Amino acid sequence: MRRDPLAYLGDDLDALKEQNLYRRLRILEDEQKAHTTFDHRSVVNLSSNNYLGLTTHPRLRARALEATERYGVGSGSVRTIAGTMEIHMELERRLAEFKKVEAVVVFQSGFAANAGTVAAILTKDDVVISDELNHASIIDGCRLSRATVKVFPHKDVEAARRIITGLPADQRKLLITDGVFSMDGDLGPLPALCQLAEATGCIMMVDDAHASGVFGANGRGTVDHFGMHGRVDVQVGTLSKAMGALGGYVAGSRNLIEFLYHRARPFLFSTSHPPAVAAACIAALDVLIEEPAIMERLWDNTRFFKAGLERLGFNTGLSESPITPVIAGDSAKANKLSDRLFEEGVFAQAIGYPTVARDKARVRTIVTATHTREDLQFALDKFSQVGRELGLV
């Protein structure tokens, strides 16, 4: 009999189980909402990126259905062959206007936008100067580009400066940060990084996945929040989180976008969005502009919940956004905290190594605009009970 050549994967999975790093997928049996059902249990959901509740917003639903009726369910091709529909172009025009840039290109996901862009605009002769906590899609883009990667300690602009000044002046350099760091909820130091990029001739790139729809006027992102319009060369945003649907985009100059149309591999070699997705994203932009009260509710809820967790005495790190980590220590402890909360009716997913450092395992909470005060108070009560049970507070 043939020996299974993939047997080593089973050994690796066993090792993950021994290290408390094995996670079973939780199954969502209802809509992605603030209060919903996972694994047959009704829970307050603190694990989604659905910041504004747009996954189930009636305007997005209606536009997606209408587009499906009118154009069918698929685009049938990659963008560069036959898969560029008028609705894709409309979405890009609307995003460019919203972001106050010359042009935008939409990708299938935020991951594809980051990885595809970094890999396209750099070569092996170039250097990336990257925050140590930047997202995996940036890291993969750097690897694909074959550029040299120099990592600076989290948010340490002076360390980034030392790296840059040690490099040949004529070498092409990309300085890159997340706008909001996804596991800690803190913000990249954009003003200081933009200044550094300008002083040293770096290309400045920001991944605003968790800031899209959350920071800046009407959710325009951290570039708007910090007043950095015109100073960030490459802005990445996502349509998969606060925007409620799916996708990623790059906002910048007309030349950048035209270049990515020709060289970004996910754009060239992977099918474009179904029309329903593009239509839902356009409706999401309408909601951001016409219903600003939703964003205000998100921030009211964020302030309420953060203050509650801090009052209880949890280690919540340095978050400045609706993402609040509750740092538990090792993975076993974080998993226990998450599992016990789930039994009590609160879903806050545990995050361990390699997503975060081994000794900084946590449950990550994300508040949305659609949580009620009762939902959040219930969750705080359960955090208090389980936190005491596990000796975390």
Give least dist CB 273 to ligand PLP, A.
Answer: 12
Q: Which residue has the tokens 């591999």?
A: 265
Q: Would you say 213 or 387 has its CB closer to ligand PLP?
A: 213
The pair of structure tokens assigned to 209 is: 């996945």
Which pair of tokens denotes residue 179? 């706008």
In 3D, which of 181, 232, 238 has the Cα closest to residue 209? 238
The string of DSSP letters for 87-106 reads HHHHHHHHHHHHHTSSEEEE
Do β-strands 103-107 and 127-131 pair in parallel, antiparallel, or remain unpaired? unpaired
Residue number with CB closer to ligand PLP (178 or 224):
178
Q: Smallest gap, in angstroms, from Cβ of residue 33 to ligand PLP?
A: 19
Catalog residues that contact ligand PLP under the rule CB under 6 A.
109-111, 114, 135, 137, 178, 182, 207, 209-210, 238, 240, 248
The CB-of-107 to ligand PLP minimum distance in angstroms stands at 8
Residue 5 CB neighbours (<10 A):
7
Whose Cβ is closer to ligand PLP: residue 57's or residue 382's?
57
Residue 82 Cβ vs ligand PLP, minimum distance, rounded to whole Å: 24
- Write down the number of H helices and E strands in the chain: 14, 13
Q: CA of 240: how far to CAs of 75, 97, 106, 113, 210, in Å? A: 19, 19, 12, 12, 10
User: Which is closer to ligand PLP, CB of 136 or CB of 307?
Assistant: 136
Min dist. Cβ of residue 109 to ligand PLP (A): 3
Nearer residue to ligand PLP within complex by CB, 139 or 312: 139
In 145-198, the DSSP E strands lie at 148-152, 173-178
Residue sitting closest to ligand PLP (CB):
110
Residues with catalytic function: 182, 210, 241
